[in-house]
Amino acid sequence: MPETKSLYSEVILDHIKNARNFHELPDANLKSHGINPLCGDTFDVYVKVERDRVVDAAFQCECCGISMASASIMTETVKGKTVQEARALYRSFERMLRDPGSASGLRADAGQMPMLELIREFPSRVNCALLGWHTLDAAFDGRESTTLD
CB atoms inside a 10 Å sphere around CB 65 = 17
Alpha-carbon gap, residue 68 to 61, rounded angstroms: 8
Full set of structural domains in the chain with CATH: 10-143 (3.90.1010.10)
pTM for this one? 0.90
Residue ranges with strand state E in 15-95: 30-36, 41-50, 53-62
Q: Residue 113: pLDDT band by 50, 70, 90 thresholds? A: confident
Q: Average pLDDT in the 116-140 region?
A: 93
127-143 burial string, b = 16+ CB within 10 Å, else e? Answer: bbbbbbbbbbbbbbeee
For residue 147, give the H/E element and its range. strand 145-147
Q: Average pLDDT in the 69-92 region?
A: 95
Alpha-carbon gap, residue 118 to 129, rounded angstroms: 11
* Residue 107 pLDDT exceeds 80: no
Mean pLDDT for the chain overall: 89
Render pLDDT for 16-64 as a digit per residue (tens, 0 to 9).
899 999 999 999 999 999 999 988 999 999 999 999 999 999 999 999 9
Alpha-carbon gap, residue 78 to 32, rounded angstroms: 16
Alpha-carbon gap, residue 133 to 95, rounded angstroms: 13
Highest mean pLDDT: which of 12-21, 104-113, 137-146?
137-146
For residue 146, give the H/E element and its range. strand 145-147
